[in-house]
Amino acid sequence: MTTGTVFNIQRYSIHDGPGIRTTVFLKGCQLNCWWCQNPESRLSGQEMIFWGDRCIGCGACSTICPSGAIQIKNGIPVTEKEKCILCGKCIEKCPALAREMIGEKLTAEEVIKEIEKDLIFYEESGGGVTFSGGEPLGQTEFLEGLLNGCREKKIHTAVDTSGYISWGILNKISPKVDLFLYDLKLMDNERHKKYTGVSNEIILKNLEKLSSVHNNIFVRFPVIPGINDDYQNIREIGEFLSSLKIAQLNILPYHHIGIDKYKRLGKKYKLVDIQPPSKEKLSEVSAILKKFNLNVKLRG
């Protein structure tokens, strides 16, 4: 029985592939994108989130903690992550629901059971399940178990990937996947390293190879003002994709609805001053990419 760490199962999702879908978010990602809206996805293990606006400063968490990880300072509990053994006792004890564990160990069978609850919606809408993250391919065996389970139940599957994974894994998993959602952010390697923390060489090579063995890939281009919306980057993306077999190119406008999560995780969000792109900008990006004979779709 394969187990993995999941941090969210979102039902009735309509932005992660065709029809009505259930999106299963797997924990762990090697990229560190400045615009990431799921910062809780990066670490592969469980982690604690603290809702400061809910906390009433009662100190119950500090008293119960078996490893002395929580100190009350100026009425606020401060957790030393190094000491925390993630036992969850402070969460159970907190009367204000101010503490929450991100990530749950689940078996593939447990996740499939959850997915199955909406079979009727998938059938009616042409939907299915999307495995996202994090990087779902990072939990390879677990993902394989999930994909096998879905195939047995005839549930359509999509895998949302950064492409930053070994070709061996991608190639092995590929025949089990109905649709790939493949992220492409920046063509210039130095800028890619700066804004995501990793080189784009593997990502570009994998996309080339994947497009020669899989016939249903939607490439997803998140438009982030001032970072990747310049003409050169858009043109290079168009040129690169026009030489590959790609079913769709989805343009995704940047948004910052995940900013709050950074605060709760004690992390810094670097793009506070960047606003979502205008409709005019998105139309302009779309028009440039359409010139490369790509099936371009603007997504909300």
> What value, to the nearest 5°, has the Cα angle with vertex 58 and ends 55 and 59?
100
Distance CA 186, CA 270 (A): 18
Which residue, among 253, 236, 249, has the nearest Cα to 295 in the 3D structure? 249
Q: Computed from CA positions of residues 255, 257, 260, 264, in that sequence, does the dihedral angle turn out positive or negative?
A: negative
Closest CB to ligand SF4 among residues 96, 204: 96
Candidate ranges 6-14, 27-35, 93-101, 242-250; the one touching ligand SF4 (CB under 6 A): 93-101
Considering the rule CB under 6 A, would residue 58 count as an interface residue with ligand SF4? Answer: yes
Q: Which of 69, 207, 237, 249 binds ligand SF4 (CB under 6 A)?
A: 69
Considering the rule CB under 6 A, would residue 99 count as an interface residue with ligand SF4? Answer: yes
Q: Which of 34, 37, 38, 89 binds ligand SF4 (CB under 6 A)?
A: 89
CB of 43 to ligand SF4, least distance (A): 15
Closest CB to ligand SF4 among residues 62, 286: 62
Do the beta carbons of residue 157 and residue 180 sit within 8 Å? no
CB of 87 to ligand SF4, least distance (A): 4
Distance CA 113, CA 149 (A): 10
Do the beta carbons of residue 22 and residue 10 sit within 8 Å? yes
Candidate ranges 30-38, 83-91, 158-166, 277-285; the one touching ligand SF4 (CB under 6 A): 83-91
In order, the DSSP letters of 165-201 are S-HHHHHHHGGG-SEEEEE---SSHHHHHHHHSS-SH
Binding footprint of ligand SF4 on the chain (CB under 6 A): 55-61, 64-65, 67, 69-70, 77, 79, 84-90, 93-94, 96, 98-99
